[in-house]
Amino acid sequence: MRLTLRIWRQSTKDDGRLVDYRLDDVSEDMSFLEVLDVLNEELILAGDEPVAFDHDCREGICGMCGMMINGVAHGPERATTACQLHMRHFADGATITVEPWRAKPFPVVRDLVVDRSALDRIIEAGGYISAPTGSAPDAHAVAVPKPDADTAFESAACIGCGACVAACPNGSGMLFTAAKITHLGVLPQGQPERDSRVLDMVRAHDDLGFGGCTNTGECTAVCPKGVPLDSIGRLNRDLLRASLRPRR
Same domain, 212 and 171: yes
CATH number of the domain within which 175 lies: 1.10.1060.10
> Which helix H or strand E contains 5, and what residues bound it?
strand 3-9
Return phi, psi of residue 233, to 5°. -60, -40
Q: What does the pLDDT read at residue 130? A: 83
Other Cβ atoms less than 10 A from the Cβ of 206: the count is 14
Positive or negative, the CA dihedral 55, 49, 115, 220 is negative
pLDDT at residue 134, rounded to an integer: 78
184 and 69 assigned to the same domain: no
- How many separate domains does the chain show? 2
CA gap 44, 238 in Å, rounded = 52
Q: 171-191, pLDDT tens digit by residue?
A: 999 999 999 999 999 999 899
Domain coverage including residue 205: 116-131+141-247
Whether the predicted pLDDT of 247 surpasses 70: no
pLDDT at residue 101 above 90? yes
Is the pLDDT at 248 greater than 50, yes or no? no
How many C-beta neighbours within 10 Å does residue 104 have?
Answer: 12
**Reported pTM:** 0.93
Amino acid identity, residue 238? D
Give yes or no for residue 1 having a pLDDT over 70: yes
120: number of Cβ within 10 Å: 11
Residue 136 lies in a domain: no
Q: In terms of domains, do 145 and 224 share one?
A: yes
Distances (CA, A) of 244 to 148, 237, 238: 24, 11, 10
Q: Can you say how many angstroms the Cα of residue 165 is from the centroid of all Cα atoms in its chain?
A: 7
Strand partners, 97: 6
Is residue 169 domain-shared with residue 191, that is, in the same domain? yes
The number of residues in the chain equals 248
Percent of the chain with pLDDT over 90: 90
What is the Rg, in whole angstroms, of the alpha carbon atoms belonging to the chain? 20
Task: List the end-to-end C-alpha distance of the chain, in Å, as a whole number.
Answer: 66
Q: pLDDT digits over 208-243, tens only?
A: 999 999 999 999 999 999 999 999 999 999 999 999
Name the residue among 133, 178, 173, 136 with its Cα closest to residue 155. Answer: 178
Q: Per-residue pLDDT for 13 more than 80? A: no
User: Do 124 and 231 fall within a single domain?
Assistant: yes
Among 31, 32, 38, 26, CA closest to 1: 26
Q: Same structural domain for residues 151 and 237?
A: yes
pLDDT at 62: 95
Q: Flag whether 98 is in a domain.
A: yes
